[in-house]
Amino acid sequence: MARFPRSAIPRLLYTFFSSKTRRFYPSPTAALLLGNFEVRQFSAGNVARAKDAKEPWWKESMERLRNIGISAHIDSGKTTLTERILYYTGRIHEIHEVRGKDGVGAKMDSMDLEREKGITIQSAATYCTWKDYQINIIDTPGHVDFTIEVERALRVLDGAILVLCSVGGVQSQSITVDRQMRRYEVPRLAFINKLDRMGADPWKVLNQARSKLRHHSAAVQVPIGLEENFQGLIDLVQLKAYYFHGSSGEKVVAEEIPADMDVIVAEKRRELIEMVSEVDDKLAEAFLNDDPISSVDLEEAVCRATIARKFVPVFMGSAFKNKGVQPLLDGVLSYLPCPIEVSNYALDQTKNEEKVMLPGTPDGPLVALAFKLEEGRFGQLTYLRVYEGVIRKGDFIVNINTGKKIKVPRLVRMHSDEMEDIQEAHAGQIVAVFGVDCASGDTFTNGSVKYTMTSMSVPEPVMSLAVQPVSKDSGGQFSKALNRFQREDPTFRVGLDAESGQTIISGMGELHLDIYVERIRREYKVDAIVGKPRVNFRETITQHAEFDYLHKKQSGGQGQYGRVCGYVEPLPPGSPIKFEFENMIVGQAVPSNFIPAIEKGFKEAANSGSLIGHPVENIRIVLTDGASHAVDSSELAFKLAAIYAFRQCYSAARPVILEPIMLVELKVPTEFQGTVAGDINKRKGVIVGNDQDGDDSIITANVPLKNMFGYSTMLRSMTQGKGEFTMEYKEHSPVSQDVQMQLVSTHKADKAE
């Protein structure tokens, strides 16, 4: 019997509808025509819409899809919130707490280390269904050392929930996460959590979000009671009061607004309408004309303003006490965009990286970004965000960054560390593939287009440790572990110290490197000896200096001859590039084929400055003249000439050492403020801010990283265990003259040894 292509079969042949699965299935005729082809399932809505030629088959399924991330400062309740979302959407059947006291731990913290420490280390992906909408969720870490996990999650998401603590308010990492959301232009909702805690004040947090994060925001809910009297929420859009009954708050009961709250509800609803009117013309017109504003009008206006990133609706609740999570899920469906409402751009490699807007539909050619790698039980697991087209199991896809053609052996959807095999995934979905060799940030297509997605920004590591395995026999496993972690985490770097021969690992902070050493121990059964933490200093120059160097060597046969002349100078402050080389030779004093070798020589020389052997940055090297020999000149001769020329002029350019400065935020009880501030001064820190928050003082300071080692223990002893701090990299800045002399003499002594 002749087979028909799937596309040639009219959709009207899908006649049998199952009320149980809410799916259409093909009539016997269709099944015969399809032969052994896999039958595509259409939902009731899709078939009805498919009859209307204007609306493609995928439109409704795309509109019912949300990709969201949950981000916040440490301990604001991200993982607890995700746990409740999974419970209410039926993905898990019992709730476990983050600290894992019951021996189970939260679903999204699948690593043993995460459960023990009660922190999220890796972002975890999952999906769930709420009111016939599919929601893909990525739970991200709050600790600044794992900032790359937040970066890569936000890079591929369409919307986000920024969780704020009703007691702690807007903290340092909240500001960092918000900055990352702005960088990737992610529309967001804010969720003020922990309203059941002592000292909860959502209105103070809302004002902080407006002042510190510059959010144009307003509350869409008002809490009924606070602290131990927190009972429920009033929805300002629908004008309904919601209470959460049942052992886990699973029964949401809608009632009329309590009479004693009419005044505050009217005031807060008017504030909401005013704030949205400022950024939405349609609502502004109704508001100025004093027209009655219905719930539908207000909801649509909030949705338009949120998707346009002009407004941030603020939700409230307590995830731990199971209150306010279901209305937040409704808010995700109502106010955050579906994949086709977001603009995504690719770079066309055939047209000199011209920006191309992706329609984001399943009809186009496949474009997918590998945003995260993980070593799973069955080999490398690559997380993909599909931006356009459809990816199927067994398809051939092309890695545009390497040019390799690869077959998709297995396609899965992730639920934390569990996976579910699927046959295909279309634009807008987040899936994972097995056995595909690639790097984080690679773009895959079906081969018909050469598009690459812009990659995420990766911060430079600020701290290094020397590590080596205890026993020589475990060297193989040790290398395997380091290679795997490097592939998974772009902020984790591994290098070799040329002088000592030690393996050096670099990362974003003490905790970051400690976690990796611990993972080598647990996952690869390799005990490692860890050296003293080493700060990643840099060197730079402060003035113009000229060079004129002739490299000449004669030994039987062809000799070496190369002369380079020019100057070095510092790049202007704030320059995005660290090294610049310019060839200003007029004529052919040096043949053009030797110029790349000269540049390579200067780059190599700048890898280690003569002060303390650290890389030199923020320099501009200009080549103005040179000389060559018809026989003796070679690429090697010019490369060596460049290296020696750099060393010759380096000391004349007044080099200085740069050290990483950290932005440290401390929260300490006011009684210890003087002691802590004195200690910061002793550590050569500069206090740049001091705020009062209830009984606590919030001190912001810029402190050199080398003076911050072991600070957490010191802070605990100074504040009787009540102080806490966070720090993140701010910049590299010059050290004082006495510190520079000390560092140089230490370096010389080490070299002599």
Residue ranges of the binding site for GTP: 72-79, 139-143, 193-196
Euclidean distance between CA atoms 213 and 173, whole angstroms: 11
Number of Cβ within 10 Å of residue 235's Cβ equals 21
Query: Which residue's entry shows tokens 């004040």?
Result: 201
Euclidean distance between CA atoms 247 and 249, whole angstroms: 6
- Residue 341's Cβ-count burial label (10 Å; 0-12, 13-18, 19+) is middle
Euclidean distance between CA atoms 507 and 488, whole angstroms: 13
Q: Are 744 and 611 in contact (CB under 8 A)?
A: yes
Number of Cβ within 10 Å of residue 750's Cβ equals 12
Structure tokens at 509: 């902070």
Euclidean distance between CA atoms 208 and 214, whole angstroms: 9
Structure tokens at 143: 């600790």
Using alpha carbons, select from 569, 641, 572 the residue that is nearest to residue 605.
Answer: 641
Euclidean distance between CA atoms 415 and 110, whole angstroms: 10
Strand 686-693 and strand 696-704: the pairing is antiparallel
Number of Cβ within 10 Å of residue 409's Cβ equals 13
- Residue 201's Cβ-count burial label (10 Å; 0-12, 13-18, 19+) is middle
Strand 503-507 and strand 538-541: the pairing is unpaired
Number of Cβ within 10 Å of residue 148's Cβ equals 24
Euclidean distance between CA atoms 579 and 382, whole angstroms: 33
In our burial notation (b when 16+ CB lie closer than 10 A, e otherwise), range 651-673 reads eebebbbbbbbbbbbbbbeeebb
Euclidean distance between CA atoms 421 and 412, whole angstroms: 4
Euclidean distance between CA atoms 307 and 51, whole angstroms: 30
Euclidean distance between CA atoms 326 and 235, whole angstroms: 12
Structure tokens at 744: 């140089």
Which residues are annotated as part of the binding site?
72-79, 139-143, 193-196
Q: Are 695 and 670 in contact (CB under 8 A)?
A: yes
Q: Are 568 and 545 in contact (CB under 8 A)?
A: yes
Q: Which residues does 434 contact at the CB level (< 8 Å), separation at least 6?
A: 376, 378, 379, 380, 381, 382, 409, 410, 412
- Residue 23's Cβ-count burial label (10 Å; 0-12, 13-18, 19+) is middle
What long-range pairs does 549-555 form, CB within 8 A, spacing at least 24? 549/641, 549/644, 549/645, 549/648, 550/627, 550/641, 551/637, 551/638, 551/640, 551/641, 551/644, 552/632, 553/637, 554/632
Sign of CA dihedral 247, 251, 252, 256: negative
Euclidean distance between CA atoms 466 and 525, whole angstroms: 19
